[in-house]
Structure 1
Amino acid sequence: MTGDEPVENASALGDAFSVQDHIFSQKQLLNVGYVPESDHIVARNEEIRRLASALNPSIGGEAPNNVFLYGKTGTGKSLCARYTTRRIVEAAANDVSVGRVVVDCSQENTETRAIRATVQELNDPEVSGFVVPETGFGHSRYYSLLWEALDARFDAVLIVLDELDRLKGTNFLMQLSRATEANKLERCSVGIIGISNKIKYRNRLGERVKSSLQEREIIFTPYDRDALRAIIRSRSNAFNSGVLSDNVVSECAALAADEHGDARKAINLLRHAGELATINEADKITVQHVHRANNLAERDRVNAILAGSTVQQKATLLAVVSLALVEKTRTFKTPEVYAAYEDICAESGLETLSKRRIHDLLREWEFLEVLEITRTGGGRARGSYLRHHLLEDPSVIRSAFEKSDRFARIGISSGTTTTWSNI
């Protein structure tokens, strides 16, 4: 046989190779990058109004304000930035040209990459007369091309820098914010919309950058359960009729609300539950599908985080997780965590690092949003201290650690090393 002959019992395969999705009707509505219309953007009218007001001067060709959006993951920052900047471009006066670009700083995380991505998106070779190459230029040459491309096409341009805290260095912000003042641009004015999960990001900026930016700040607070239910309902057209029940919507909202009011998690959870229902050939999504999807998502996320961590990072996190499993709480003081860490090192034969170094490792887990670290007062004459709160489910992290040869059977109980089974 050549491999191309018809299969004799092909009819027995039925519709195995045809589209049979009876759960989803418009699955793209659940994509992270999907930007809904205004009537489907929930609980963010005030934030959109403030952002639009700051950028409004560009509609008439004047200089827009710089704006920084802060808030936890999944609170609608990127969604509102994309929606508002798109509407500003559409609303520009007939004789005014407004440009817009969204730069993902988690991918374009160096100055050169960020400039190149910006100018490639905004450049029109037919207008500027040049093509922007992928390689071969230094950042100074890319800057020259950027200024030339902007002046050739636009009266104003809105540059959205998503996950700005992932960008190495601050010179890109300095160059953009001072372009007009430094006579780099003659016609075009630039508005920067910076987006960060780190509300203290501004503290990293030097005084010259802060002075140039003069940015406005908009804080995005977490969604509550009611808002999350409305958000999920706004994407219900992604499913066929009768597939999505109120119980499923409420369960997705509840699970997401427990994790900082993360709308992205709620939507992803709903999509994964729908995919499980499809695989199981179910007629509708059930709460059981939601729970299974949540467990799988949590496990995969934790495995991905641990896979990129050093042994000492893992030991530090394991100290917090072990305490959480034994004490039935998720918040601990630094001395408690360090004592647990010392026991883990003794049991596993790992070198014990200093308290200062462990503090740094705990901060790294905070950056990854596995921990939340706050400073609190201990009362009169008792000073202040750090509290380390575990954001992830300790049982999920424990199951990931059980696959580790070094840490498979290590736990902490009242200062005494025990096995996971005892925990």
Structure 2
Amino acid sequence: MADGDDEQSLSQSIKGRLQEGAQNSVFRDKGLLDPDAVIDEDRIVGRDQQLDDIITYLRPALQGNRPPNMLLYGPSGTGKSLIINAVCQQVLELANTQGDEFGVIRINCQTIKSHDRAVYRLVEDAALEAGVDIEVPESGVSTDQKLNRFYELLSQNFDSVIIILDEVDLLAGRQRDPNDEPAYSKLLYQLSRASQLGRIDGHISVAALTNDPRFMEDLDGRAESSFNPQDVVFSDYDANQLQSILERRRDAYQDGVLEDGIIPLSSAFAAQDHGDARKAIDLFRKAGEIADRRGEDTVCEEHVRDAQKEAERDRTLTQMQGLSTQKKISLYATAIVPVYSQRNLNAVPSTVAYRVYQSITDLLDVDKKSRDSYLRYMNEAETYNFVTSEKRGRGYGSGVHKEYTFVDDPEVVAETLQADIRLEEVEHNGDLIESVVNAQIEDFFEAS
């Protein structure tokens, strides 16, 4: 067969597999499980008061008046972005029917490192919203020139605009001195004063979103007075509210593919993690993605549990990237104790874990650190929130030891650490490690 025929056959094979995967997916509308999707109000759950407040604050935009500035604060995944974006979308549609030019400018400050960069991002989003050219370079001109272009875009294209600054507290900028004004303070002052100073012709309002309830304390006095926002407080979701949120996104899946218990289990996992709706939705989506990867036509509890393990593994891997080899070995030695134990251990005695650590260092032929060093490494693991610890007495005259409890599944922690190149040798000696773990456990309990 000629090369051209081979390429055509391969192309048809790839195309067929792509089409088959799309046709056999458990998803109907996966976009509904994007946590940042702008959704219909009938999918909003447990945020009636916040929704009423923001509707009240934004209503003046439809009456030719300026809405107040707003500060939306509460933990991650509690609906701040969801609510403000949903209401702004409705205001935008109603304003268009009235012939008013209402604009919504959104930036996420998480990855913006300076005041200058934030201003340019505002210019970019305003130009995109207006459908015109940016007309100012990203570098080579002053921040004031970029800010002037931003005001020009607003004046020429909008009667009223709301600027949404998500995760605004992360826009700290380069503060060479602890007393330096953070970048977000300067930006809020400039935006809040634009109308009063005649920098724009229309109305401008700012909605600042933050996880920090003490955000206003770090504002410069001028910025605080000028911004002067209406507060909207968002609390954690409980398990029932998370379950209702997922129920209202059930139609992201095909009919009949979700087994009973999928939504309650996804909600329960997320409720344990501070009531974060983003994590509940992510978990609900990842369970379906796992089912698709395995070519299965239903989503079951096993998929949810595997999705939770993947999420824990990803989070653990990110946190572990900066740990030294010795710290990884210490954490690994502690994690495998409950994994390999023939007893039902809820907490890991430091005495047992340190002896397992000694055996692993022998196996890997690496330096063996002292017990004090091991305990110091585990104290650091506690600051990373891998474990919690508690001191326990072993009876009269036997002293005190520490016991460690893992925040995430210790098996996931162990598997993640095992992927480290220095721990591959341990993976090939599982039976030996298991015998060491159980021998040390029995010695510990006999001595207690």
Q: TM-score, normalised by structure 2?
A: 0.70
Q: In structure 2, the residue corresponding to 1:80 is in which secondary structure?
A: helix
Residue in 1 that maps onto 2:135: 131
Mapping for residues 154-233 of structure 1, pairs under 5 Å: 154-168=158-172, 169-170=183-184, 171-181=186-196, 183-233=197-247
Gaps of 5+ in 2: 173-182, 339-343, 349-367, 389-404, 427-435, 442-448
Alpha-carbon separation, structure 2, partners of 1:61 and 1:94 = 11
CA contact (8 A) 1:69 1:219 kept: yes
Residue in 1 that maps onto 2:356: none
Residue in 1 that maps onto 2:3: 3
Give 1:72's aligned amino acid: P
Alpha-carbon separation, structure 2, partners of 1:216 and 1:13 = 54
Q: CA deviation at 1:97?
A: 2.2
Give 2:266's aligned amino acid: C
Note closer, same or farther for the CA distance 1:184–1:404 as it changes in structure 2 (3 Å cut).
farther
Residue in 2 that maps onto 1:58: 61
Q: TM-score, normalised by structure 1?
A: 0.74
1:200-250 per-residue CA deviation (whole Å, 9 max, x = no partner) reads: 222222222211111121111111122111111111111111101331111
Residue in 2 that maps onto 1:341: none
Gaps of 5+ in 1: 331-343, 373-388, 410-418
Query: Which structure shows the higher helix fraction?
Result: 2
CA contact (8 A) 1:348 1:406 kept: no
Residue in 1 that maps onto 2:91: 88
Are positions 1:238 and 2:239 aligned together? no
CA contact (8 A) 2:242 2:271 kept: yes
Alpha-carbon separation, structure 1, partners of 2:129 and 2:29 = 36
Q: In structure 1, the residue corresponding to 2:191 is in which secondary structure?
A: helix
The CA RMSD over aligned residues, in Å, is 4.1
Q: In structure 2, the residue corresponding to 1:106 is in which secondary structure?
A: helix
Q: CA deviation at 1:38?
A: 0.7
Moved more, 92-101 or 268-277: 92-101
Give 1:53's aligned amino acid: T
Q: CA deviation at 1:393?
A: 5.1
Match of 2:272 among 258, 264, 272: 258
Q: CA deviation at 1:167?
A: 0.9
Q: CA deviation at 1:144?
A: 0.9
Q: CA deviation at 1:401?
A: 4.5
1:330-355 per-residue CA deviation (whole Å, 9 max, x = no partner) reads: 9xxxxxxxxxxxxx9855969x89x9
Mapping for residues 14-413 of structure 1, pairs under 5 Å: 15-19=16-20, 20-92=23-95, 94=98, 96-123=100-127, 131-168=135-172, 169-170=183-184, 171-181=186-196, 183-307=197-321, 309=322, 311=324, 362=383, 392=408, 396-397=412-413, 399-401=415-417
Note closer, same or farther for the CA distance 1:128–1:287 as it changes in structure 2 (3 Å cut).
closer
Alpha-carbon separation, structure 2, partners of 1:400 and 1:228 = 28
Give the total of aligned pairs.
372
CA contact (8 A) 2:127 2:133 kept: no
Note closer, same or farther for the CA distance 1:7–1:78 as it changes in structure 2 (3 Å cut).
closer
The percent of aligned pairs where both chains have the same amino acid is 28
Give 1:116's aligned amino acid: Y
Give 1:234's aligned amino acid: R
Residue in 2 that maps onto 1:412: none
CA contact (8 A) 2:74 2:213 kept: yes
Indicate the structure (1 or 2) with the bigger Cα radius of gyration.
2
Alpha-carbon separation, structure 2, partners of 1:158 and 1:12 = 49
Q: CA deviation at 1:137?
A: 2.4
CA contact (8 A) 1:163 1:195 kept: yes
